[in-house]
Copies of this chain bind each other. A is one copy, B any other.
Amino acid sequence: MKDSKNIHLDLNAIESMESRSRAHLINSLSGFKSANLLGTKAKDGSTNLSIISSAFHLGADPALMGFIIRPDVSPRHSLENMRETRLFTLNHVNEAIFKKSHQTSARYPRETSEFLACGLSEEYLDSFHAPFVSEANIKFGLEMLREIKIEENGVEFIIAKIVSIYYPQKSHIADGPIDLEVAQTVAVSGLDTYHLTKKLARLSYAKVGQELKNIP
C-alpha cells in the first residue's frame, strides 16, 4: 500500500457523514466478522431465524460467547424468544446458504418464520428446545446467561453459555480446533459482503525469544 494515498477522517468528518455511508464504513472497520444464524423458538412454538455478525469468543472455561442485538432491527423477535425460553442456537453460515442467510435480515413480521420464508430447514437435536439449521455444518446450542444494556447506543449485549456442539468429523483437528475451511464457513465484511477464506498459516504458540513455526 506504499503506492496508495490514504483517506483520513477525523471525529468531525466521521460525525458529519451521511448515515448509511457511515454505517457501511464503521461496519467495515473492525475487520472480518463471523456469520451465524441465530435460531429461536417461542413458547407458542413459533420459530425465528436471524443472521448476526457480532458473535465473538468470550471465554473457554466456562465456554462463553458474546454478541450484540439491536432491538430496533430484525433480531428483535429472536430476543423476545430468548427472553422467554433462554435457549437458542448459533449455526455457521456456509457457502451453500449465504444468500438465504442474508435474506433472514429482512424485516419479516412476528408471525413469519424466517426458516420457511428463506428456505432453510429447522432441525431438532437431542431434545434441545431451539431449532438448529439443518443446512449448517457447524452448530451449537446456547443458554442465555445475561443481557447488558449498552447505554451508549441502546443495543443489548448478550452473554451465553455453550451447552452443546455439533461439527463435522472431517473438520476436526487433532489438538482441538475446527478447520472452518473444511466446514465451508464464510466470513463477512461490512454489512453485506461474504467471503470464503484461504489459509495462510497456522502458527505455533508465541514465546519470548523463540521463532514461530508453521503448524502443518
Q: Which residues of A contact B (CB under 8 A)?
A: 1, 4-11, 14-15, 17, 19-36, 53-66, 68, 92-93, 95, 98-99, 102-108, 117, 125-126, 137-138, 140, 145-146, 148, 150, 152-153, 155, 157, 159, 162-173, 175-178, 180-181, 183-187, 189-208, 210, 212, 215
Closest Cβ–Cβ distance, residue A96 to chain B (whole Å): 9
- Complex contact B32–A197 (CB within 8 A): yes
Excluding A21-B176, A59-B155, A193-B203, 16 further A-B contacts by CB distance (< 8 Å) are A8-B125, A9-B164, A11-B163, A14-B162, A17-B176, A20-B175, A26-B63, A30-B56, A59-B152, A62-B152, A98-B200, A106-B207, A146-B152, A148-B148, A193-B201, A194-B200
- Complex contact A31–B206 (CB within 8 A): no
- Complex contact A33–B8 (CB within 8 A): no
- Complex contact B53–A57 (CB within 8 A): yes
| Residues on the B chain within 8 Å of A199, using CB | 193-195
CB-nearest residue of chain B to A3: B170
- Complex contact B168–A6 (CB within 8 A): yes
| Residues on the B chain within 8 Å of A140, using CB | 29
Give bound CA distance, A140 to B157, whole Å.
23
Copies of this chain in its oligomeric complex: 2
Known pairs A25-B176, A99-B212; A19 contacts B192 (CB<8 A): no
Give bound CA distance, A64 to B68, whole Å.
12
Give bound CA distance, A65 to B25, whole Å.
13
Give bound CA distance, A210 to B118, whole Å.
11
CB-nearest residue of chain B to A214: B99
- Complex contact B169–A4 (CB within 8 A): yes
Give bound CA distance, A85 to B183, whole Å.
43
| Residues on the B chain within 8 Å of A159, using CB | 150, 152
From B10, B22, B58, B212, give the contact of A102 (CB < 8 A): B212
Give bound CA distance, A102 to B215, whole Å.
13
Give bound CA distance, A15 to B165, whole Å.
12
| Residues on the B chain within 8 Å of A210, using CB | 106
